[in-house]
Structure 1
Amino acid sequence: MLIRRAAALTTANLHHHFRRYATAALLQELDTVPPQLTYLEGFPRPDPKYAETIHAIPRATSGKNIAAKERKAGRVPSIVFEQEDGQHGGNKRLISVQSNQIKKLVNHLGRSFFLSRIFDLEVVSEFGSDEIVEKVRVLPRNLHLHPATDAVLNVTFIRAPSSAWLKVNIPIVLRGDDVSPGLKKGSPLNLIKRTVEYLCPADIIPPYIDVDLSELDVGQKIVAGDLKVHPALKLLRSKDEAVCKITPSRVSDQKKSK
């Protein structure tokens, strides 16, 4: 009896240690990015034209009244989270950024492109001061705009060190629509996804993904698994999920029925 109990305990301990080892190995795989990872030739990379440092000041408290005062003063109430599991996090810092700067970046880049780009964030004691409180790389996680005026209401950032893996909705950019056989026949393009979600190493987040329509004919589609991205990126959707499709037009349908 004692021998059987000892054997059972040993087996349980082995399973316990195996689970701990497997979990640790997985976390290590996701939390550690090899330093040699860089953008590859032929893949999109961020335009240095928009490599801008976002300036911010600390904000002591939160709430509707505080947020309203910040916006009235030309500032946007914001939060910086510690990157965790690619999306959530602790180590929260309340900040305010400049409305004009964020609005300019969103207008120049576009909302989806703004939310898929790494920025340097510099927090100073007050705007115009040289006293730096914190300087860190961040990824804009959420952007809330006023539904009527498109004024920036708030922004959420997450810290993006080189070791981070970040969930990012990468915008798609269509190419080859001028030579697509299906589009030249007059059939419409059904754009099903404007962004595709990937888990990305922070140092190689693509600004967009090229989607080539040049050989797409009527009834054909491009799925997420067809997209060409850096091999280190991990697709977070089904590879069979449709991105776009050329659907038969009513005119071509009527001709076929005749």
Structure 2
Amino acid sequence: MALFIHRALSNKTLHLRFFSQAALALDQSSSSPSPLTSLEAFPKPDPKYAETILAVPRAISGKNIAAKERKVGRVPSIVFEQEDGQHGGNKRLISVQTNQIRKLVKHLGESFFLSRVFDLEVRSDFGTGDLIEKVRVLPRKLHLHAGTDAPLNVTFIRAPSNALLKVDIPLVFRGEDVCPGLRKGLYLNTIKRTVKFLCPADLIPPYIDVDLSELDGGQKLVMGDLKVHPALKLIQSKDEPVCKIMGARVSDQQKKK
């Protein structure tokens, strides 16, 4: 499923063009507009999946309670408060709907679900219950059943506009069809599928576009090569490799003999 989404997104991003380094520097140095302004050159979340996640409060936790919640179609969850923008503080126990979380994860893919901000609506009861709280959240952890992929637990963290959040952003590779190395019969060694950035909550990208169109044999892309909004801060080393064009696989070489 993830591979399907990966390829589909790759095809949709062929038209994207990135700002030059001079343009990025201008954006960072200018007082107007703000560096937190969204830039057209970078991908934005598909509004098709901008669902409000519905939840109800949960009084207590524990294995028995969690099992009962799952039995009636609910996923035991936690919302951590934002204190300094990076660490969870006080927590709220909630339960969300199994079917809704399963659908979102299925359509978006797990890594894309975990890098997207959602509105979360806590009501006294699903549907028509009194509204207790409405808040923006980022899914932080997702535990799926090994056999059925049913969601077992979800952890959310509050994502107000002023928050800075550590996010593993998925990578989407494009340009395979024109990549010089791949056209020679070499193969792509994918080293990273997500990269961790410190992101303003309003500017978390749904993915990072990785352009393979100029890579030849033996060449690689590192984290510092990724083109992202200037407000995002890379947490990992900029020299860590993301992907590399490698020689033909041993199995391919044997087939030619």
| TM-score bin (small chain) | 0.7 to 0.9
What residue in structure 1 maps to residue 103 of structure 2? 104
> For the Cα contact (< 8 Å) 1:183–1:189, is it kept in 2?
yes
What residue in structure 1 maps to residue 158 of structure 2? 159
Q: Within 1, Cα distance between the matches of 2:217 and 2:201?
A: 38
SS at match of 2:53: strand
Residue 91 of structure 2 is aligned to residue 92 of structure 1: yes
More helix by share: 1
What residue in structure 2 maps to residue 63 of structure 1? 62
> For the Cα contact (< 8 Å) 1:113–1:171, is it kept in 2?
yes
Cα deviation code 1:107-160 (max 9, x no counterpart): 000000000000000000011224111100000000000111111000000000
The one-letter code of the counterpart of 1:144 is: H
What residue in structure 2 maps to residue 173 of structure 1? 172
How many residue pairs match? The answer is: 220
After superposition, the Cα gap between the structure-2 partners of 1:242 and 1:67, relative to the gap in structure 1 and judged at 3 Å, is same
Q: Within 2, Cα distance between the matches of 1:91 and 1:121?
A: 17
Structure label with greater radius of gyration: 1
Q: Within 2, Cα distance between the matches of 1:106 and 1:148?
A: 15
SS at match of 1:92: strand
Deviation at 1:88, TM superposition (A): 2.7
SS at match of 2:149: coil
Deviation at 1:85, TM superposition (A): 4.8
> For the Cα contact (< 8 Å) 2:187–2:249, is it kept in 1?
no
> For the Cα contact (< 8 Å) 2:79–2:94, is it kept in 1?
yes
What residue in structure 2 maps to residue 220 of structure 1? 219
SS at match of 2:209: strand
After superposition, the Cα gap between the structure-2 partners of 1:132 and 1:149, relative to the gap in structure 1 and judged at 3 Å, is same
What residue in structure 2 maps to residue 197 of structure 1? 196
Q: Within 2, Cα distance between the matches of 1:63 and 1:233?
A: 37
What residue in structure 2 maps to residue 44 of structure 1? 43
| Percent of aligned positions that are identical | 78
Deviation at 1:37, TM superposition (A): 1.8
SS at match of 1:229: coil
TM-score (norm 2): 0.82
Structure 1 runs of 4+ aligned residues shifted over 3 Å read 84-87
TM-score (norm 1): 0.82
Measured on the aligned residues, the alpha-carbon RMSD in Å equals 1.6
Q: Within 2, Cα distance between the matches of 1:240 and 1:207?
A: 23
What residue in structure 2 maps to residue 138 of structure 1? 137
